[in-house]
Structure 1
Amino acid sequence: MNKVAKPLSGKTIVIAGSRKLDEMSSLIQKQGGTAIVRSLQGVTTFKEQEMEQELRLFIENQPEWVIFTTGIGAKALFDAADRLGIKDAFVQTVQQAKIAIRGYKTYNFLKTQELAPDIRDSDGTMKGLEEQLESVTFTKEQIWIQLHGEPAPDLVQFLEAKGASSVHTLLPYLNIEPEAETLQQLRKDIQQSQIDAICFTTAVQVRYLFKDASKNGYEDELRSALNQQVLAVSVGKVTSEALTQAGITRIVAPENERMGAMIIEMAKYYEEQK
C-alpha cells in the first residue's frame, strides 16, 4: 500500500524570520518539507538613551494626537517611561490626546493600560489607518507617531498634507540590516532554483530582500522568481502589502495572522496544486 505524500514533500522552505524558528521548522517538517533559515530580520535594538529625551519632550509638548502602530513598540514606550519614573506623566499625556492605532496587538496592549483608541485602522495596514484618518482635520495640531524600526514617510506626508503643525516620529527600536552572507546565500538559493518558497513574517524582511536585489542588479530576476518559481508566503496583511508594493502578485497568506497558520495555509496551497 502506497503512503500518501504529505503536502510539503520534496519542498525546501526558507524561513526569513528570526523568531519561533524551531516551532516553524517543526511544522514544516511535519508537513513533509525541509526548512532552512535565512533570517532577513537583522537585529532590532532598543534606543534607551534617545528614548529618555524623546519621552520627556513628548510630555512637555502635550500633543493633540498620538498614533501607535505596533504593540511591541507601544509597550516599549510605556516600559521605558516606567523605568524613568515618568510613567504617570506619560500616561496622562496620552490620555489628554486623541489616539489612533494600527494593528490588533496595539489595541490589545492599550487595553491593558485602560486606553481606548479614537481611530483604528480598517484592515491592519498603514494604508488602512490612513483611510480611517481621511475624514479627520489636523489643522495646526501636533502629532506624535510611534513606529517600529523604520520611518514611515508616506504617513508623515499624509498627516502634514492634512494640516498638522508638526509630525514627530518615535522609533523606540532600530532595525539593523541582516548579515551580508545571509543575503548572498539566499540570492544564490533563488538563482540556482534550490528553494520552493520563502516564509516572510514581517514587512521589513521583504524590504531588505529587495534592497539587496536592487543593490546587486537582480531585482527584476527576483520579482520574476517570486511570481513564478518561488512561492511568497506572508504571515499577514502588512507583510502582504510590502510584497504587493514590491510587485509580487502571487502571495499565500492565512486569514488568521499567526506563524503556524501561515505554514498550514502554505501546505494547503501545495495540496491544491497536486
Structure 2
Amino acid sequence: MSDQPLSGFRIGVTAARRAEEQIALLERRGASVVHAPALSVDPNRIDEPALLAATKHVLDQPVDIFVATTGIGLKSWFGAAERWGLLDELTEHLGGAEILARGPKSVGALRRFGLRELWSPESEEFDDVLAHLRGRDLTGLRIVVQEHGQSLSMAAHALRRLGAEVTTVAVYRVEGADDPEPMFGLIEDIAGRRVDAVTFTAAPAIAAMMQAAGTTGHRDEVVSAFQADVIAACVGPVTAAAFEMWGVPSIYPERSRLAAMVKQLEVELPSRAGGTSLDVAGHTLLLHGDAVLLDGAEVKLSPAPYAVLQALLVNPGTVVSRRDLLTALPSGTAGSEHAVEMAVARLRAALGTRCIQTVVKRGYRLAVAP
C-alpha cells in the first residue's frame, strides 16, 4: 500500500489554529493542500473589561450549576482571572457548584485547574447538555454558562423559562479571517469542484464559510458541490452539526482528533474517487486525478510523458500513432516525432520498459493484460 494514500487529491483546510499541523499531516500523505482560514488566526479576542465585569457578577452569589463548553474558553477565562488576581477565588467559587462539561477538552481544562465535572455527554454536543438540564427542576437555581465563541443567549433564555437564573460568560467572540481572499478562492474551488474535500475543525468556520459564499453569490453552488462531489470532513460531531441546516452530509471520526480526521480521509477519498486501475505488464497502474501510482508508489511525470500516458489510456491496449501522440504533447514540446520518442523514453524510464510496447510502423500501446 502507498505511504501517500492522498496523492492526487486536492484538499481545502479552513483551520486557523493548528493549521500547520493539519497541513503537514495531509501533505505527508501526498495531498495537495489549499489553506483558506475561515476564522481569525487568533479568534480568542477577549473584551477584558466586559469579561472582568462578568466574572465579578459570577462571584457575587453562589453558583448551583456551572456549564463548561470549551477547553480554550476556560483556559482563556482562568488565565485572565489569574492576571486580575481572582483565579483562586473563581475556581473555589465554581468548585462548589455542580459542574457539567460539554466534552473532553473542557474536562481537561477543568481538571488542569483542580475542578471536576459531575457529568459530560458522550456526544460532546451542547444540545445534550441542555437536554440533561431540561429534565430537571431548575426553579431558583443559579446557572453559569461559559459561552464558546458564539452567543448562547437562546439557550440561556430557554433555561430561564424553566425557572433558572442564568448568567452567560462571553470569554471570547470568534471573528472572521483577517484576509478573506483565500476563503473566496476556496469557495470558487468548491463551487467549481476543483477540490476533493474540505476540512473543518470548528462549527463557526462553517458559518463563516457559508456567509462568505453568500456574499460572493456562490452559496447554492457550494451546497450543491458538498452534496454531490466534495467531501465535508469535520473533526467531530459538534462541528458536523453546523452543516445540518444546509442539508450537507459530512464525515467525522469517532474520536474528535486531527489525526483521526485525516485517517478517515485516507479511506474515504480513494474509495469514492475510484480512479483508473489497470494491470500493465504485471504491475498495477492507478490514476487518481493528476497522480500516477505504480504498485502503490507515486510516479512523478513531467508534462510530456504524462500527456503520452493520458493518450495511451483513452483506449488501453489500442495502438496510438506517433502523429496522434505528437498532437497530444503540450505546446512548446511538440516539435517533431523525435519529441514523441523522447517523451515515450521518459515514460518507460518511470514505469518500466515493458509497460509501453512499440508496434513497428504503427506507434505505441500500453501493455495491458488481455
- Residue equivalent to 2:68: 68
Contact 1:121–1:130 (CA<8 Å) still a contact in 2?
A: no
Give SS of 1:90's match: helix
Partners of 2:153 and 2:168 within 8 A in 1: no
Per the TM alignment, residue 112 of structure 1 is displaced from its structure 2 partner at its CA by 2.4
Q: 213-222 or 104-113: which moved more?
A: 213-222
2:166 counterpart SS class: strand
- Correspondence 1:121-160 to 2 at 5 A: 121-160=121-160
Contact 2:103–2:122 at 8 Å: present in 1 too? Answer: no
Identity %: 26
Residue-pair matches, total:
270
Partner letter of residue 251 of structure 2?
V
Task: Show the counterpart of 1:242.
Answer: 242
CA RMSD in angstroms comes to: 2.0
Equivalent in the alignment of 1:184: 184
Contact in 1 for aligned 2:184/2:213 (Cα 8 Å): no
Q: CA offset at residue 98 of structure 1?
A: 2.1
Alpha carbons 2:252, 2:264 under 8 Å: kept: yes
TM-score by length of 1: 0.90
Structure 1 residue 93, shift from structure 2 partner: 1.6
State the alpha-carbon separation in 1 of the partners of residues 123 and 204 from structure 2: 19
TM, length-normalised to structure 2: 0.68
State the Cα distance separating 1:106 from its structure 2 match: 0.9
CA distance in structure 2 between the aligned counterparts of 1:67 and 1:228, rounded to whole angstroms = 38
In 2 relative to 1, CA 60–26 (structure 1 residues): closer, same or farther, beyond 3 Å? same
Distance 1:4-1:267 versus aligned 2 partners, 3 A rule: closer
Shift of the alpha carbon at 1:245?
Answer: 3.1
Letter in 2 for 1:263: V
Segments of 5+ residues of structure 1 without an aligned counterpart are: none
Q: What is the aligned partner in structure 2 of residue 113 from structure 1? A: 113
Answer yes or no: is the 8 Å Cα contact 2:191–2:218 preserved in 1. Answer: no
Distance 1:75-1:206 versus aligned 2 partners, 3 A rule: same
Does the 8 Å contact 1:12/1:194 carry over to 2?
A: yes
Contact 1:68 1:101 in 2 (8 A): yes
Runs of 4+ in 1 over 4 A off after TM superposition: 3-6
Aligned partner of 1:19 among 17, 20, 39:
17
Contact in 2 for aligned 1:126/1:155 (Cα 8 Å): no
Which residue identity lines up with residue 114 of structure 2 in the other structure?
E
RCO higher in structure (CA 8 A, sep ≥6): 1
Name the amino acid aligned to 2:176.
E
Query: SS state of the match for residue 35, structure 1?
Result: strand
**For 1:119, what is the secondary structure of its paired residue?**
coil
Whole-angstrom distance in 2 between the partners of 1:55 and 1:20: 29
